[in-house]
C-alpha cells in the first residue's frame, strides 16, 4: 500500500532520519511497533522562509509492505534507428534533444543540424568572449551542443505541467547524469558545471542508436516542392562546403537567437510568422549575502543554499518581473554576434559564488514597438519581424555604450537618481563593465517602468535597493519576439507543410523542461503519422 505524508521540520533537522520517520508515522497514524516493511521516499522538498521562520516542507511517498517502483522501469526504451523514416531536426537545444530521444523510442532516425560546436570546443569560444572580447557568431553561450541552456543555471522548474510529464523529463536527465535531487527539489536545477556532461551523455546515446548529429552545420535555406518542405540547404562551417539534407519531416528547434531563421522563413512566406510579446530589461546583481539576509531574515544556516526570490508587479499596464534568478551565480555575456551586447545569468550546482542576480524585465507587446521598426518590418514584407528588429537595435545600441564586451552598467541607486555611476563594487561579469547612464539610451517605456518597479520590489524585499546593487544591460532574450505558427491539431506550420516548429525559439516554451516537453509533443505527432 502506498500513502503520502507531508511534514515540516527545521533546516538543521534535515539529516535526522529518526525524527523524520517519527513525524511521518505520526502523520499517517502508523503505530511505533507496527509490523511489516515500511519504505520512506522523499518526493518533494521546499524551503519556506515566510514570517521570519525558516522551515523545510517535505513530502514523502510511504510504501507499506510493498516494494517502491524502480526508477529504471520508468525510463523510455530507446531503439536502434531504422532507415524507413528520417526526421531532420534544426538546432540541438532541449526541444531538439528530447524530440530526438522520443523518435528513437519508435526507431525513427533523427538527423540533427547544429550550427554550433560540441561542448568541449564551445568552451574555448566562450572563454574568448571574456578574455579577448571576441564573439564567434556560431559558437557562444547561445549556440552549440545543448543550446542556450547548456552553459546556464540549468533551471528545471516549470509551471507547464499540462504540456507533458515533468517527472519523465527529470528522470531522463537523472539517467544521463543529473543529480537525483532534481526529482525532489521544488525548484530543481542542474548547474552549469554539470549540465554539459549530461548533454554529452545524451549525444552519445543518440549517435549509438544510429541518429546523426552534424555540428558546425548552419541551415541556410529551405527547399520546397508544391508548398511542402522536402529538404534544407546547409553549409559546413569548417570547410565552407554546401550540402542538402532531405527527410520525411522537419522539426525546427533553432532557439530564440536564430534571427536568420526567422528572416529566411519570412522570405518564403511572411504569413508563417506572427509577432508576440517578449521582454526587455536588465540584470540586477547583489552580493549574495544581501539577498540571503533579506530572504532568510538574518537567520540563514549552513544547511541552506543561496536564497532565491521571485518578484512581479504591474506598472502602467505592463508586467515587470524577475526572470531566471541565479542565487550564488554569475552574470554572463550572451551575445550571438560581435556587434551586440546581451547578458544572461548562470549558477553552478552548488550556487556558492559571492553574488546573486536576476533579470528584471518589462513586458513588451507588439503594439509597444516603435514605428521605425514597424516600418522596417513592412519594408521587408513581414510585419511580424518588428519585435526582432527592435531587439536587434537595443543590443546594437548597447554595444555602442560598451567597451568591447564590457557591458554598460549603473548602480541601482544611480539609475533611480538618473546619474552616471562613478565607481562600482566587484561584479561577477568577467568581460567587465563600463559606466553608463541607462536612462539615456534604454527605451523610455522600459526605463519608465523599471524605476517604479524597483521601488515596489524594495517594499517586498527591504534592502533590495542598496549601494551594492548593480544593473548590467541589456537583458533581451528571455523569450523570442516572433512565433513560428503551427496548427493546433497537426502541429505543422500551416503555410509550410512538413515543417514542425518546436521549443523556445519557435515561441512555444520558456525553459529547459517546457522546451523538452514541447519537443516530445512534436515527436509524438510525427511518430503517429
Q: What is the pLDDT of residues 71-113, one digit of tens each?
A: 666 789 999 999 789 999 999 999 999 999 999 999 999 999 9
State residue 96's pLDDT score. Answer: 98
Q: How far apart are CA 342 and CA 439, in angstroms?
A: 17
Rounded Cα–Cα distance for residues 352 and 21 (Å): 31
According to the model, what pLDDT value does residue 340 have?
A: 97
Percent of the chain exceeding pLDDT 70 equals: 98
Cis peptide bond upstream of 283, omega within 30: no
Long-range contacts of 165-168 (CB under 8 A, 24+ apart): 165/517, 166/513, 166/517, 168/74, 168/76
pLDDT at residue 222 in the model: 98
Under a CB-based contact definition with an 8 Å cutoff, are residues 382 and 468 in contact?
no
For residue 430, give the nearest of 48, 148, 127 by alpha carbon. Answer: 127
Closest CA to 516 of 219, 100, 203: 100
pTM comes to 0.94
User: What per-residue confidence (pLDDT) applies to 72?
Assistant: 63
The full DSSP string for 446-469 is HHHHHHHHHHHHHHHSTTSS-TT-
Instruction: Output the pLDDT for position 50.
Output: 79
Residues in contact with 91: Cβ distance below 8 Å, sequence separation at least 6, in sequence order: 112, 113, 114, 147, 252, 253, 254, 255, 258, 503, 505
3-class SS of residue 26 = helix
**8 A C-beta contact, residue 245 and residue 327:** no
Is the Cα dihedral 190, 193, 194, 195 positive or negative?
Answer: positive
Predicted local confidence at residue 152, as pLDDT: 76
Show the cell assigned to 173: 536527465
CA distance 369 to 144: 30
Quote the DSSP letter at residue 354.
Answer: S
Task: Please give the pLDDT value at position 161.
Answer: 65
Residues in the chain where the model's pLDDT stays below 50: none
Separation between Cα atoms, residue 397 and residue 340, nearest integer Å:
8
Structure-block grid coordinates of residue 258:
536564430
2-9 β-sheet, strand order: 2-9, 55-64, 38-48
pLDDT at residue 186, as a whole number:
86
Closest CA to 486 of 169, 84, 95: 95
Cβ atoms 122, 116 nearer than 8 A? yes
Q: Which three cell numbers stand for residue 322?
A: 524577475
Sequence-distant (6+) residues with CB within 8 A of 423 are none
Amino acid at each position: 500500500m502506498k500513502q503520502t505524508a507531508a511534514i515540516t521540520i527545521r533546516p538543521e533537522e534535515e539529516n535526522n532520519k529518526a525524527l523524520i520517520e517519527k513525524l511521518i508515522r505520526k502523520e499517517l497514524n502508523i503505530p511505533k511497533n507496527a509490523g511489516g516493511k515500511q519504505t520512506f521516499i522523499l518526493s518533494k522538498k521546499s524551503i519556506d522562509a515566510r514570517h521570519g521562520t525558516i522551515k523545510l516542507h517535505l513530502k514523502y511517498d510511504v510504501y507499506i509492505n510493498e516494494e517502491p517502483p524502480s526508477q529504471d522501469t520508468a525510463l523510455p526504451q530507446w531503439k536502434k534507428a531504422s532507415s524507413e523514416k528520417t526526421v531532420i531536426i534544426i538546432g540541438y537545444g532541449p526541444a531538439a534533444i528530447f524530440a530526438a530521444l522520443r523518435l528513437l523510442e519508435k526507431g525513427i532516425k533523427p538527423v540533427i543540424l547544429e550550427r554550433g560546436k560540441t561542448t568541449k570546443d564551445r568552451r574555448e569560444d566562450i572563454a574568448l568572449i571574456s578574455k579577448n572580447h571576441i564573439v564567434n557568431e556560431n559558437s557562444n553561450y547561445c549556440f552549440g551542443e545543448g543550446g542556450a541552456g547548456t552553459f546556464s543555471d540549468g533551471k528545471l522548474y516549470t509551471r507547464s505541467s499540462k504540456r507533458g510529464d515533468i517527472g519523465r523529463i527529470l528522470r531522463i536527465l537523472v539517467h544521463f547524469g543529473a543529480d537525483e535531487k532534481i526529482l525532489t527539489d521544488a525548484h530543481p536545477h542542474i548547474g552549469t558545471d554539470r549540465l554539459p556532461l549530461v548533454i554529452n551523455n545524451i549525444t552519445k546515446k543518440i549517435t549509438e542508436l544510429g541518429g546523426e548529429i552534424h555540428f558546425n552545420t548552419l541551415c541556410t535555406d529551405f527547399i520546397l516542392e508544391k508548398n511542402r518542405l522536402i529538404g534544407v540547404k546547409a553549409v559546413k562551417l569548417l570547410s565552407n562546403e554546401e550540402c542538402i539534407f532531405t527527410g520525411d519531416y522537419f522539426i525546427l528547434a533553432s532557439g530564440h537567437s536564430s534571427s536568420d531563421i526567422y528572416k529566411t522563413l519570412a522570405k518564403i512566406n511572411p504569413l508563417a510568422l506572427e509577432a508576440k510579446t517578449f521582454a526587455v530589461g536588465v540584470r540586477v546583481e547583489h552580493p549574495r549575502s544581501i539577498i540571503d539576509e533579506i530572504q532568510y531574515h538574518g537567520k540563514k544556516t549552513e544547511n541552506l543554499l543561496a536564497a532565491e526570490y521571485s518578484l512581479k508587479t504591474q506598472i502602467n499596464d505592463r508586467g515587470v518581473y524577475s526572470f531566471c534568478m541565479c542565487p550564488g551565480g554569475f552574470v554572463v555575456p550572451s551575445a550571438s554576434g560581435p556587434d551586440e551586447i546581451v547578458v544572461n545569468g548562470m549558477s553552478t550546482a552548488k550556487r556558492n559564488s559571492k553574488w546573486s542576480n536576476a533579470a528584471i524585465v518589462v513586458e513588451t507587446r507588439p503594439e509597444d514597438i516603435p514605428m521605425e521598426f514597424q516600418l522596417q518590418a513592412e519594408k521587408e514584407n513581414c510585419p511580424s519581424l518588428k519585435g526582432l528588429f527592435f531587439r536587434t537595435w537595443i543590443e546594437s545600441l548597447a554595444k555602442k555604450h560598451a567597451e568591447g564586451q564590457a557591458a554598460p552598467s549603473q548602480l541601482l541607486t544611480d539609475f533611480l537618481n538618473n546619474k552616471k555611476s562613478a565607481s562600482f563594487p566587484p561584479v561577477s561579469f568577467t568581460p567587465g563593465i563600463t559606466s553608463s547612464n541607462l536612462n539615456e539610451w534604454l527605451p523610455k517605456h522600459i526605463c519608465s517602468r523599471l524605476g517604479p518597479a524597483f521601488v515596489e520590489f524594495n517594499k517586498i524585499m527591504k534592502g533590495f535597493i542598496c549601494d551594492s546593487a548593480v544593473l548590467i544591460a541589456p537583458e533581451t532574450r528571455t523569450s523570442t519576439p516572433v512565433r513560428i505558427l503551427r496548427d493546433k491539431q497537426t502541429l505543422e506550420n500551416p503555410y509550410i507543410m512538413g515543417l514542425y516548429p518546436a521549443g523556445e525559439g519557435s515561441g512555444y516554451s520558456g525553459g529547459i523542461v517546457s522546451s523538452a516537453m514541447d519537443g516530445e509533443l512534436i515527436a509524438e505527432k510525427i511518430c503517429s503519422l
